Copies of this chain bind each other. A is one copy, B any other.
Amino acid sequence: MITVMSPYDPSAFPPFAVTVDLVVLTVRRHALCALAVRRGEPPFQGRWALPGGFVRGDEDLEAAAARELVEETGLSAEAGAADPQGKGAHLEQLATYGDPERDPRMRVVSVAHLVLAPDLPAPRAGGDAHSARWAPVEDFLDLTSAPEEEPAAPLAFDHARILADGVERARSKIEYSSLATAFCPPEFTVGELRRVYEAVWGVVLDPRNFHRKVTGTPGFLVPTGGTTTRQGGRPAQLFRAGGATLLNPPMLRPEV
């Protein structure tokens, strides 16, 4: 006999676990890197995975993501348009993954979040994660077009797919938003911002046209008055992120 559930009767529903997984991206040494933790338990014991964990019974999804972020990295997160000057990292919801087979133990729906952070000291292994590390996203994804290549460090569960979606979101979003500044420290130079774009897109940009473009886009950058020579060469002006979230005109990714 088949029992038809009343569609809005919440007393009869299949049991789900809900988790948040985090795609935490940063730029280090000219490469787009993701945070991974090593799994200490089955399944996929010993494999790298995205940080994450269960959503608590009285906790909002975004709060759960922010809590996991603090536990895994010590980073405080600021969601969405809040925090323009960037004490905390940028956090936004990415997508939700609910294939019935994605966790071999039971039905788990994972709400993935994307975090963009400035270059950080080595991650602290949070909670019971045996270890944590930053690694170039190519190590996990094999973004080369050679189909026979396997990723150097295959991720557990469907986390490679989630990471790929997060990377693609970051790559497209820095085109039309000021989000690239989330990868920079609170004060940064035009050259540092350009190296963020170059690392995330994997391209080389003309420093002169880039400079003219970003300084000419209203609301993108605000000069702080200071200068720095930390890149060598002529001292560069320091900027902080302006209030604009949507860039008009957008930055154009070359060779599309």
Contact = CB atoms under 8 A, between A and B. Distances in A.
B58 A6 contact: no
Interface residues on A, range: 35 or more
A102 to B, nearest CB: 9
- Copies of this chain present in the complex amount to 2
B100 A60 contact: yes
A109 interface: yes
A230 B128 CA distance: 66
A249 to B, nearest CB: 9
A18 B98 contact: yes
Contact of A109 (B8, B15, B61, B106): B61
Contacts of A98: 18, 55, 60-61, 111
A10 interface: yes
B99 A96 contact: no
Contact of A100 (B59, B109, B248): B59
A7 interface: yes
Contacts of A248: 256
A39 B8 contact: yes
B54 A13 contact: yes
A108 interface: yes
A17 B16 contact: yes
Contacts of A95: 93
13 contacts: A7-B52, A7-B54, A7-B127, A7-B128, A10-B103, A10-B106, A14-B56, A16-B17, A16-B109, A57-B107, A60-B99, A109-B109, A109-B111
Interface of A: 5-10, 13-18, 39, 41, 52-61, 93, 95-100, 103, 105-109, 111, 127-128, 246, 248, 256
Leading 10 A-B pairs by shortest Cβ distance? A14-B57, A61-B98, A7-B53, A13-B17, A96-B96, A16-B18, A10-B106, A16-B16, A96-B111, A10-B105
